[in-house]
Amino acid sequence: MFTSNIGRMRFFFYSLGVAFLEAMAALVCIVGTMGFEGFINSTPGPSRQGMAGAVLIVSLLAVVMRGNIAWRRSRDANGKGWILWSYIVFCAIYAFLQAGTLLVIDFNNPESTPSGLNLLALSIFGLWCTILVAKPVSGSNIDELTSVFDFEGAVPSVSGRMANSAAPSTARAAAPATRSVPSVQPVGRPKPAGFGKRGL
């Protein structure tokens, strides 16, 4: 289940699902540790360590899930390894920086938010788009569509379609050989058609 290749459609929806789950889990961590009001009114520093640690664990789990689906998509498209590993490493770095930002951010001072985090997020998004739009291996689109949508009846494979298309041509080629050969008439004087009345 977690090792099969996935196409563009599944990679897109799986990525959205992981992002949604990560956001929900991070909110649960904040509410369960400090609460939104306590987090906003708290001073940056050790008072936020428990909350930041919980968010970091959730983010690292999301990195593992993103790495799995990116690896499966990259293998489906025969993508380059450095793009895949750059995406995974940047996601891991972003998870640590995001947890560190929760420790030092001051809501009364907007300049306390590090600008480098946004640049890293743009880099991750660019790598994600590269993995998404990579051209899949021939034949994987049909397999993905038939697995996502429930079509009635089985769709024949490429080899099956080639075999079925070759069968009629073989039958047509063999048809002239099976035609009956007309009988050969003997050469000679033609036989009279019958007796008739001679004229007077």
Residue at token pair 């789990």: 61
* For range 180-184, the mean pLDDT: 52
Sequence-distant contacts of 21-24: CB under 8 A, at least 24 apart = 21/62, 22/58, 22/59, 22/62
List the structure tokens of 174: 């063999």
- Within 10 A of 193 (CB to CB), how many other CB atoms are there? 6
pLDDT confidence band for 107 (50 / 70 / 90): confident
Residue 106 forms beta bridges with which residues? 109
**Encoded amino acid at 177, one letter:** A
Ranked by mean pLDDT, the top range of 46-50, 73-77, 185-189 is 73-77
pLDDT at residue 195 greater than cutoff 70:
no
pLDDT at residue number 188: 53
pLDDT at residue number 200: 40
Give phi and psi for 106, each to the nearest 5: -120, 115
* Residue 179 vs residue 81, higher pLDDT: 81
pLDDT confidence band for 15 (50 / 70 / 90): very high
The least confident of 49-53, 79-83, 103-107 is 103-107
pTM, 2 dp: 0.65
Buried/exposed code over 145-177 (b: 16+ C-beta within 10 A; e: otherwise): eeeeeeeeeeeeeeeeeeeeeeeeeeeeeeeee
Distance CA 132, CA 16 (A): 12
pLDDT confidence band for 151 (50 / 70 / 90): very low
Distance CA 31, CA 142 (A): 44
pLDDT at residue number 61: 96
User: Could you tell me which residues come within 8 angstroms of residue 59 by beta carbon, excluding any fewer than 6 positions away?
Assistant: 22, 26, 94, 95, 98, 99
